[in-house]
């Protein structure tokens, strides 16, 4: 089997973009050249690598395996390049990070301060819900992943970054806002606005509700904290979100945190990567930057950064 590294990169671009034209643009070649290269790769492998259905490309099982192999080889080569740069005294490279949507309230600033210290480093940041981040984790698309509720079926290096308390919010004028120690059962007659199924916030809330045998009357499910906050402020129901979505405050934009028994729910953000993955110098430097930044905030936000390898 004779496939060049450049052909592998081109095929990886095909897998990522979902089109021949997109792959051609990504590697700065013409579309006919890309099509010819894909034919050569398929001939070398001896099996179909993709099929076109309704002008959209779908990888075959062999094509998916080839894309995963190409991704692993590309990441390994980038680590080598960064190691060589480090020996030469250079500080450059690319950092790929995927984070859950709630982490957008603090991650851009941390990335910004890191880039200020390392201006030659390019950063690719993907902000998705938990399911999207887990999918990228399974496909090994990034260097580091930040989420709550990491999957337990993947061998990971898992570091707890900082607390992510989950709270119940209500409109500012809601009568419950003046009460303390509200029993959860007292909310049985209220409608709830929750995050979408599969989000870390929703998973934490559902787990607690099951433990307490409480069935919330769900009126709406939203894919963003902003939508939940706006719906609650509009009087559509009570919400359950990360307190970081309120920028750490007890009230914001027409909503406030309720004092409900059992809340805030204990949750945390984790920094994870595959246990067998050798981090690039840039990724290792960014993890150290995260730890230093969290240590500096320790006086105002309790946090824990304990490394563990989970099997």
Indicate if 166-257 has the same CATH topology as 91-162+268-310. Answer: yes
pLDDT given for residue 205 in this prediction: 94
What span, in angstroms and rounded, lies between the C-alpha atoms of 139 and 152?
Answer: 16
pLDDT given for residue 293 in this prediction: 85
Residues 6 or more apart in contact with residue 209 via CB below 8 angstroms: 215, 216
Fold of 166-257: D-Maltodextrin-Binding Protein; domain 2 (3.40.190)
Token couple for 173:
């004028």
pLDDT given for residue 295 in this prediction: 74
pLDDT given for residue 55 in this prediction: 77
| Cα R_g (the chain), whole angstroms | 23
CA-closest candidate to residue 148, choices 107, 197, 104, 199: 199
Fold of 91-162+268-310: D-Maltodextrin-Binding Protein; domain 2 (3.40.190)
CATH of domain 5-67: 1.10.10.10
Query: Residue 195: how many CB atoms within 10 A of its CB?
Result: 30
What span, in angstroms and rounded, lies between the C-alpha atoms of 36 and 21?
Answer: 12
For the chain of 311 residues, list the mean pLDDT of each consecutive stretch of 10: 86 90 89 90 90 86 91 84 68 85 87 88 89 92 92 93 92 92 94 92 93 94 92 95 87 91 92 89 89 69 40 35
Q: Where are the domains of the chain?
A: 5-67, 91-162+268-310, 166-257
pLDDT given for residue 194 in this prediction: 95
Token couple for 177:
């806002």
Characterize the bridge pairing of strands 255-257 and 268-274. Answer: unpaired
**Sequential DSSP letters for 268-311:** EEEEEEETTPPPPHHHHHHHHHHHHHHHHTTTTS-----EEEE-
């Amino acid at each position: 089997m004779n496939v060049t590294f450049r052909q592998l990169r081109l095929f990886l671009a095909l897998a990522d973009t979902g089109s021949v034209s997109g792959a051609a643009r990504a590697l700065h070649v013409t579309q006919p050249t890309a099509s010819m290269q894909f034919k050569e790769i398929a001939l070398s492998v001896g099996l179909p690598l993709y099929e076109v259905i309704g002008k959209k490309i779908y990888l075959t099982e062999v094509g998916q395996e080839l894309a995963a192999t190409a991704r692993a080889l590309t990441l390994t080569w980038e680590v080598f390049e960064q190691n060589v740069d480090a020996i030469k005294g250079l500080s450059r490279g690319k950092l790929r990070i995927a984070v859950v949507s709630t982490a957008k309230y603090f991650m851009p600033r941390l990335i910004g301060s890191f880039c200020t210290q390392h201006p030659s480093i390019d950063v690719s940041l993907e902000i998705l819900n938990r399911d999207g981040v887990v999918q990228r984790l399974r496909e090994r698309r990034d260097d580091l992943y930040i989420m709550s509720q990491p999957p337990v079926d993947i061998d990971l290096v898992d570091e707890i970054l900082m607390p992510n308390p989950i709270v119940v919010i209500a409109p500012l004028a809601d009568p419950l806002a003046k009460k303390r120690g509200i029993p959860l059962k007292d909310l049985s007659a209220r409608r709830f606005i929750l995050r979408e199924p599969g989000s870390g916030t929703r998973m934490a809330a559902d787990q607690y509700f099951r433990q307490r045998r409480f069935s919330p009357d769900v009126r709406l499910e939203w894919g963003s904290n902003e939508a939940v906050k706006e719906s609650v402020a509009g009087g559509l129901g009570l919400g359950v979100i990360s307190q970081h979505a309120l920028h750490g405050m007890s009230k914001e934009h027409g909503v406030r945190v309720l004092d409900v028994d059992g809340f805030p729910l204990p949750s945390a953000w984790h920094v994870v990567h595959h246990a067998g993955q050798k981090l690039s110098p840039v990724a290792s430097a960014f993890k150290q930057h995260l730890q230093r930044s969290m240590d500096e905030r320790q006086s105002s936000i309790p946090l824990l950064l304990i490394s563990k390898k989970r099997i």
